[in-house]
Amino acid sequence: MKALITLLILITSVCHASEERFSITSKLIDETTAVRVTLPDTYAHSDTFNYPLLIVLDGATQFPHVAASTQFLSTYAILPEMIVVGVSTHKRLQYFTPTEHEKFVGRSGQANAFKAYLHKELIPTLKSKYRIAPYYVISGHSMGGLFTSYLALQSDSEFNAHIAISPSFWWDDNMLVDTYQALPNQHLSTAKRWFLSMANEPGEMNDSYVAMLSALNAKTIKNLHWFSQRFADETHDSTPLIGNAQALKSLFHNWNAVPEITVMSLAQLQAFYQRKSEEYGYNFPLSAHQYNVYGLKAAYEGKTTWGVEILEQGVKHFAQSEILWDSLATAYTLDNQPAKALTASKKALRLAKANHSIYLHEITSQNKQLMSKVKSNDDSVSL
């Protein structure tokens, strides 16, 4: 049964997202930044649902795989669906370092300016163009990881979660380690999450990482929740691929309410994510993929009434989702409601055709089966 569920969810929920590109001529940093945006594949399924934001530094190289991982993992409710944004700067040394180094005078130490760019230019621009929820995640590698770690320790930063892959903590004689050690226990008024990792790297990269972990283990700062992981089989260049995926799973640990075959009712799911909201400091409403995953799973595990209820609630919030209407047709079929199943299937088919859906073949197939079944039942009654 588990294999069947996995197959069916895969058929109805494979990731498919479009990319948009634009540039921002900044007034706060001396640069025009290139921006790439991937919207969740469910973005057009609602006019009101807002999505958390994930900003990826070094967008030219790191954005594609982080966007793909986010789409894939959120499809199976392993983490929230998010709008993923890649941003690139060709002055990494200047804008990713918190202090000016004597060897790089005039070319370093402007992390605060880049923070201002993110807060006052990039995020407002994104909010004017897309439906963004007030929960922000940022990811960086190497010098970018130094910058995201710097943000994690800034009480005035708007970011809620931070990913630092092989961060350059060695910068300016481990200055960020010293910064952490000097912070008061009450420094952060809101919850912040911070993932830091290191590949199989020698010298100052590893030594400074160990120094930061020692500082974190020796001292606790209220509201700072940190996670760390070693990737012994990876190099400095290869580690972002696995590191970002693991970081997202760590930051949203146990996000999936029913990862195995156990199922929940709609009320239980709502209570589960209410607890998550209290944990994260933001009220995450159920997304289209969550309704789909949990509704189908309940229906196929014999809780058809639960499955129908979950999916009916899903189409109320995501009325333009051919995926959810098609899954609701499946749940109605399993619940012995063929007339409702056909109605839902027709709705799914209309939406799939109108939206040129990549799921048109599967939706058409179920519709034909239901039409045939209803016709067969009508013929039996007439006889």
Domain coverage including residue 338: 266-382
Q: Say if 8 falls within a structural domain.
A: no
Q: Give one word for 135, left, alpha or beta, with left for phi > 0 and alpha for psi -120 to 50.
A: beta
- Output the domain CATH number for residue 297: 1.25.40.10
Helix segments in the chain, DSSP class H: 2-13, 59-75, 92-95, 111-117, 123-129, 143-152, 171-182, 203-218, 239-251, 266-280, 288-300, 304-317, 322-334, 338-354, 360-382
| 26 and 135 inside one domain | yes
* Look-up of token digits 């229906």: 299
Q: Say if 325 falls within a structural domain.
A: yes
| 174 and 316 inside one domain | no
Which is nearest to 31 in space by CA: 105, 100, 95?
Answer: 95
Q: Say if 256 falls within a structural domain.
A: no
| 39 and 157 inside one domain | yes
Q: Say if 359 falls within a structural domain.
A: yes
Query: Cα separation of 38 and 68, whole Å?
Result: 9
| 161 and 117 inside one domain | yes
| 52 and 114 inside one domain | yes
CB atoms within 10 A of CB 336: 9
Q: Say if 259 falls within a structural domain.
A: no
**Where does a domain end: 251, 280, 314?**
251
| 144 and 244 inside one domain | yes
Q: Say if 147 falls within a structural domain.
A: yes
- Residues near 136 by beta carbon (within 8 Å), at least 6 away in sequence: 52, 53, 54, 55, 123, 158, 159, 160, 161
- Output the domain CATH number for residue 85: 3.40.50.1820
Q: Say if 260 falls within a structural domain.
A: no
| 222 and 299 inside one domain | no
Predicted pLDDT of residue 377: 65
Decide the pairing of beta strands 83-88 and 32-38: antiparallel
> Which stretches of the chain drop beneath a pLDDT of 50?
1-16, 381-383
**Where does a domain end: 251, 276, 298?**
251
| 153 and 207 inside one domain | yes
pLDDT in tens, 10-62: 434 444 457 899 999 999 999 999 999 999 999 999 999 999 999 999 999 99
SS3 79: coil
